[in-house]
Structure 1
Amino acid sequence: MRVDIDQNRELILTNERAIARQVAGKVIDKPQLALWMILIPVFFVFYFFHLKRYRNGLQDFSENFLITRQRTLDAVWEATTSNANADLESVVELSDIPAGVKDQYRVWVERLADNYLLLIQASGGTYDELVRAAYKKKSNYLLGLKNLNRVEANFNQALAPHLPGDQESIESVIKSMQTSIKDLRRSQAEEIFS
């Protein structure tokens, strides 16, 4: 089967978008509708206001979650189409990451790029087929995911003190994100190699 780099890029991006939505759904709390809210119109309107904020929060989270991933994937795709090395330094420079965290960010971007390069050069018509073609065995894929999760966690931990807001809340969100990503990727690996 011929490798279709454009199709592979879209398959990878579609998968990353799905993961972003799933992580957002696990990290952001959805407002709960109580029966009594339906009976009191003011509270019912208040509920829908919070529901709209929740939906906007999901969208914003997903978009921000994808920024580095999409930039890295685009750099890998451009390099692959032009038979060059990916310009990962431009991905790093485009970010507004504090200087003290750039090294951890760079390592994460490089690991993402390694993963994307394997997938973009693989043969397959679905994301699952790309993963199977690129990694061959579940153990190889799980090892790759473990390394990716580790460098992403290192970056997030290094970034946390630089983020404005309550550090306890920030660390809680980061932990929730990392757990969600790890669980989703592991579940996905189980499905792909079942």
Structure 2
Amino acid sequence: MAAPTLAEKQQQILAHEETLARQLALAVLEKPTPPIWMILIPIFFIFFAWKLKQYSRGLEDFSHHYLISRRRALEAAITAEETGKKVDLNALLEAAQAVPEEAKPLYRDWLSLLTEHYRSLLAAHGASHAALVRACYRDKTSYLLCCTSLARAELAFSKALVPEMQGNTDDLRDVIDRMEKALAQLHRQESEQIFG
């Protein structure tokens, strides 16, 4: 069997990131549950159905936004692998025009780690995302250390954005905390599946 191409590895990595985004969205966003009496009164059940649709749209929006920087970083890593040059972090920063100036150094740090991770996976040999991770990181501890470094860098960046965001600061921090805990749990589960 031929070794996977860069495009195939890119699809494996992207599929993994999409799955992770969906799992994270499910862990962070609260699904509405109707009181039993609501089911008995059609007009209220219609309201619940609307809330459920909002929740579904929220899952999609969360996943979409979660993946924007990751898609860009993966594209930059692919370009770097194809050309043999370093990742152009300045171009990635320019593409993120909405990032406040104060948060750009933290965003750059996170993108640097993320593109390095992607390049490592792209350089590894394996027919699946799990095989790429095993080839690249060799053991559960090394992989979890990478995941932890990525999560810390992203968390620092996310926290730097809180003052610039609209909404209740405590609520925003609560969401960031839930994301941090859920992501750590998802990475532990994933590492168990990959390394046994």
Decide whether the 8 Å contact of 1:4 with 1:123 is kept in 2.
Answer: no
Which 5+ residue runs of structure 1 have no aligned equivalent? none
Which 5+ residue runs of structure 2 have no aligned equivalent? none
Please identify runs of 4+ aligned residues in structure 1 that moved more than 4 A: none
User: TM-score scaled to structure 1, two decimals?
Assistant: 0.96
Give a deviation string over 1:95-125, Cα, whole Å, max 9, x none: 1110001000000000101110111111111
For 1:186 and 1:87, the matched residues in 2 are separated by 31
For 2:164 and 2:187, the matched residues in 1 are separated by 27
For 2:58 and 2:139, the matched residues in 1 are separated by 37
User: How far 1:2 moved relative to its partner?
Assistant: 2.9
Amino acid at match of 2:41: I
Matching of residues 104-115 of structure 1 within 5 Å: 104-115=106-117
Structure 1 counterpart SS, 2:62? helix
Give a deviation string over 1:61-101, Cα, whole Å, max 9, x none: 10000000110001101121222222222111111110001
Structure 2 counterpart SS, 1:14? helix
For 2:59 and 2:185, the matched residues in 1 are separated by 19
Structure 2 counterpart SS, 1:114? helix
Q: Pairwise CA RMSD of aligned residues?
A: 1.2
Counting matched residue pairs gives 194
Q: Does 1:87 pair with 2:111?
A: no
For 1:186 and 1:88, the matched residues in 2 are separated by 29
Percent of aligned pairs sharing the same letter: 37
**What residue in structure 2 maps to residue 185 of structure 1?**
187
**What residue in structure 2 maps to residue 153 of structure 1?**
155
For 1:13 and 1:110, the matched residues in 2 are separated by 18
User: TM-score scaled to structure 2, two decimals?
Assistant: 0.95
